[in-house]
Amino acid sequence: MAASSKITVTAKLVLRLRDITAPTTNCSHSLIVPSSVTQRSITTAITSQKKKKKQKLAAAGLVKEKRRTRSDKEFDKEAILRYGDNPSHIPVMLAEVLDVFSSTCWRPLHSFVDCTLGAGGHSSAIINAHPELKFFVGMDVDPVAHEKAQARINSALHSDSYSSSPASDLKVYNFLKNFRHIKSAVSKIGEQHLDIGVDGILMDLGMSSMQVDNPQRGFGVLSNGPLDMRMDPQASLQAEDILNSWPSAEVGRILREYGEESNWRTLQNKIVEARLHGGLHSTSDLLDLIKLVSPPMKGGRQGWIKTATRVFQALRIAVNDELNTLKDSLNSCFECLAPGGRLAVISFHSLEDRIVKQTFLDMIKEKASNIDEGENCDNDLTEMRGGVEEKETWIKHTIHGSNGIILTKRPITPSGEEEKLNRRSRSAKLRVIQKH
Q: Three-state SS for 139?
A: strand
Q: Which of 8-17, 60-69, 119-128, 418-427 has the highest mean pLDDT?
A: 119-128
CA dihedral 200, 92, 146, 164 (to 10 degrees): -60
Please state the rounded mean pLDDT for residues 326-345: 97
What is the pLDDT, as a whole number, of residue 99?
96
Tell me, what's the pLDDT at 420? 87
Of 212-226, 250-264, 306-320, 385-399, which gets the smallest average pLDDT? 385-399
| Mean pLDDT across 316-335 | 97
- Is 162 in a helix, a strand, or coil? helix
Q: How far apart, in Å, are the Cα atoms of 46 and each of 42, 53, 268, 338, 431?
A: 6, 11, 38, 58, 40
Average pLDDT over residues 351-365: 96
Q: Which of 260-264, 266-270, 353-357, 377-381 has the lowest mean pLDDT?
A: 377-381
3-state secondary structure of 395: coil
Nearest Cα to 327, choosing from 350, 359, 351?
359
- The closest of 160, 95, 172, 78 to 129, measured between CA atoms, is 95
**Backbone phi and psi for residue 339, each to the nearest 5 degrees, phi listed first:** -55, 130
- Decide if 162 contacts 168 (C-beta within 8 A): yes
- Cα-flanking dihedrals φ and ψ of residue 25, to 5°? -120, 170
Give the C-alpha separation, 285 to 238, whole Å.
15
pLDDT recorded at residue 236: 96
Bigger pLDDT: 384 vs 310? 310
What is the model's pTM?
0.80
Q: How confident is the model at residue 54 (pLDDT cuts 50, 70, 90)?
A: low
DSSP letter (8 states) at residue 110: -
- Written as one string, the DSSP assignment of 260-278 is --TTHHHHHHHHHHHGGGT
Picking from 56-65, 87-96, 193-202, which range would have the lowest pLDDT averaged per residue? 56-65
Percent of the chain with pLDDT over 90: 56
pLDDT tens digits, one per residue of 179-234? 999 999 999 998 888 889 999 999 999 887 778 888 999 998 988 999 999 999 99
Judging by beta carbons within 10 Å of its beta carbon (0-12, 13-18, 19+), is residue 156 exposed, middle or buried? buried
Could you list the beta-strand ranges (E) of 209-293: none
Nearest-angstrom CA–CA distance, 205 and 142: 13
Segment 100-152, tens digit of pLDDT: 999 988 999 999 999 999 889 999 999 999 999 999 999 999 988 888 888 88
Q: How confident is the model at residue 12 (pLDDT cuts 50, 70, 90)?
A: low
pLDDT of 9 > 50? The answer is: no
pLDDT at residue 421, as a whole number: 84
What is each CA distance from 48 to 6, 38, 42, 43, 430, in whole angstroms? 14, 15, 10, 9, 36
Give 29's pLDDT tier (boundaries 50, 70, 90). very low
pLDDT at 323 over 70: yes
Q: Is 242 exposed, middle or buried (0-12, 13-18, 19+ CB in 10 A)?
A: buried
175 Cα distance to chain centroid: 25
Q: What is the pLDDT of residue 162?
A: 60
* 175 strand-pairing partners: 139
Question: Which one-letter amino acid corresponds to residue 431?
Answer: R
What integer pLDDT is reported at residue 55 of this predicted model? 60
Q: What is the DSSP letter of 168?
A: G
Helix (H, G, I), strand (E, B) or coil at 59: helix
DSSP 425: G
CA distance 410 to 69: 6
Q: Which residues pair with 302 in a beta bridge?
A: 296
| Rg of the Cα atoms in the chain | 27
295 pLDDT tier (thresholds 50, 70, 90): confident
